[in-house]
């Protein structure tokens, strides 16, 4: 089954082709991505209306590019999948309407899939994918969650952020430090020049049991530290780097502590880390060390599949289409808020 995947949930237009007849990384036939970061950077964050308009302009050319790269035509497609949520409703509608229109014209099945399920299973696109079951840390701009994964659609939420997600916290810290959008990579880059011993910021909610996260207090602590430095006339380039380092260390330590607890609680030996923040090098190093101490293994998607992309949507959609799932004819899905633990396994799984 050759499946076209479309991702338009926020500020990246992603398209990919996946063939279920080929296993591992070989199943991905072609993919392309257009990022809107440069456009939104001028405003310091995503502008929903601009995002929707840009998806409209870029989606069809990207579909033609991916088909050309795979040396296929639309008539070679067996199904189409698209991100149905969560995300910006206007952006979601661009992908949903395009997918449904193409599917109807080609008389092939179409299916809306969950954006975070795509991230969750993105490591399945690698040559050595994880086997079920595993613990997953989903850490992105809008989500920070720990999930026990027993199989496709069989997810138990272990913990999540009660306020800001880790990615949101990075963006807000970057803004406080006068860094460009998106904040995560900018803070990480600045932190490389920081002194890890100058400041120690709190590791929120690690002094109590449980697997939930909270980053709003850390954000406030960071703002207070910056204002105190400004008042003292000490907020120079080195001080900014030191604050960035302290902030990054606090977020990374918090995520690692909770992942260790999740592995210990479940007794599982595989940890999947996905979402935009999973590209953070310090986080990967610390999680790798934590897993090695527990004779466990960490799995990540390749760098370009950490952020939003069409490949993960094509993969997840292909698995669910192969299991017989379909959208009701003429019924597009666009669900801005859609809890991951509300998903169910296909009847054949």
31-72: pLDDT as tens digits? 999 999 889 988 888 999 999 999 999 999 999 999 999 999
Which of 304, 300, 306 has its CA nearest to residue 128?
Answer: 300
**Token pair recorded at residue 181:** 């959008």
Overall average pLDDT of the 145-171 stretch: 95
Confidence of residue 286 (pLDDT cuts 50, 70, 90): very high
Say whether pLDDT at 239 is over 80: yes
Say what percent of the chain tops pLDDT 90: 92
| Residue numbers belonging to the annotated binding site for Fe cation | 115, 119, 308
Say whether pLDDT at 348 is over 80: no
pLDDT at 318: 97
Confidence of residue 23 (pLDDT cuts 50, 70, 90): confident
Which of 331, 349, 335 has its CA nearest to residue 114?
Answer: 335
Structure-token match 């949101």, residue found: 168
* DSSP run (H or E) holding 213: none
Structural domains for the chain? 2-122+305-342 (3.30.420.40), 132-300 (3.30.420.40)
| Residue numbers belonging to the annotated binding site for substrate | 138-142, 171, 184, 280
Q: Mind giving me the DSSP string for 275-311?
A: SGGGG-HHHHHHHHHHHHHTT-EEE---GGGTSS-HH
For the stretch 66-88, what's the b/e string if a residue is b when 16 or more beta carbons lie within 10 angstroms of its beta carbon? bbeebebeeeebbbbbbbbbbbb
Backbone angles phi, psi at 72, to 5 degrees: -130, 170
Overall average pLDDT of the 71-86 stretch: 97
Instruction: Give the 3-state secondary structure of residue 141.
Output: coil
Say whether pLDDT at 330 is over 90: no
CA distances 7 to 108, 113, 265, Å, are 19, 10, 34
Confidence of residue 349 (pLDDT cuts 50, 70, 90): low
CA distance 125 to 14: 15
- Tens digit of pLDDT for each residue in 243-269? 999 999 999 999 999 999 999 999 999
Overall average pLDDT of the 98-117 stretch: 97
Q: pTM of this prediction?
A: 0.94
| Residue numbers belonging to the annotated binding site | 115, 119, 138-142, 171, 184, 280, 308
- Judge if the upstream peptide bond of residue 133 is cis by omega within 30 degrees of 0: yes
pLDDT at 141: 78
CA distance 208 to 45: 33
pLDDT at 98: 98
Which of 128, 126, 148 has its CA nearest to residue 137?
Answer: 148
- Tens digit of pLDDT for each residue in 194-229? 999 999 999 999 999 999 999 999 999 999 999 999
- Tens digit of pLDDT for each residue in 296-321? 999 999 999 999 999 999 999 999 99
Check residue 107 and report its DSSP letter: T
């Amino acid at each position: 089954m050759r499946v076209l995947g479309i991702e338009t949930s926020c500020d990246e237009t992603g398209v990919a082709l996946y063939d279920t007849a080929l296993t591992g990384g070989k199943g991905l036939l072609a993919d392309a991505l257009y990022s809107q970061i440069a456009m939104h950077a001028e405003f310091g964050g995503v502008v929903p209306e601009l995002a929707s308009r840009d998806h409209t302009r870029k989606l069809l050319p990207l579909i033609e590019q991916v088909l050309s790269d795979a040396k296929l035509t639309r008539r070679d497609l067996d199904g189409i999948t698209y991100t149905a949520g969560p995300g910006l409703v206007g952006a979601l509608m661009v992908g949903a309407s395009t997918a449904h229109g193409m599917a109807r014209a080609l008389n092939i099945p179409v299916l809306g899939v969950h954006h975070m399920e795509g991230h969750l299973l993105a490591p399945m696109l690698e040559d050595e994918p994880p086997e079920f079951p595993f613990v997953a840390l989903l850490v992105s701009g809008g989500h920070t969650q720990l999930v026990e994964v027993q199989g496709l659609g069989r997810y138990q939420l272990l913990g999540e952020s009660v306020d800001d997600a880790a990615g949101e916290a990075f963006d807000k810290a970057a803004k406080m430090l006068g860094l460009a959008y998106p904040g995560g990579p900018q803070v990480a880059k600045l932190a490389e020049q920081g002194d890890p011993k100058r400041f120690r910021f709190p590791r929120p909610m690690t002094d109590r049991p449980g697997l939930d996260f909270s980053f709003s207090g850390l954000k406030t602590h960071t703002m207070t530290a910056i204002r105190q430095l400004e008042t003292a006339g000490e907020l120079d380039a080195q001080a900014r780097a030191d604050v960035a380092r302290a902030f990054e260390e606090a977020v990374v330590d918090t995520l690692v502590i909770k992942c260790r607890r999740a592995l210990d609680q479940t007794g599982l030996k595989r940890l999947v880390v996905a979402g935009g923040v999973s590209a953070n090098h310090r986080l990967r190093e610390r999680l790798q060390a934590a897993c090695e101490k527990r004779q466990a293994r960490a799995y990540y998607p390749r760098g370009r599949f950490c952020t939003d992309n069409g490949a993960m949507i094509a993969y997840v959609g292909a698995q669910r289409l192969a299991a017989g799932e379909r959208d009701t004819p003429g019924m597009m899905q666009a669900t801005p808020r859609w809890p991951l633990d509300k998903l169910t396994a296909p009847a054949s799984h």
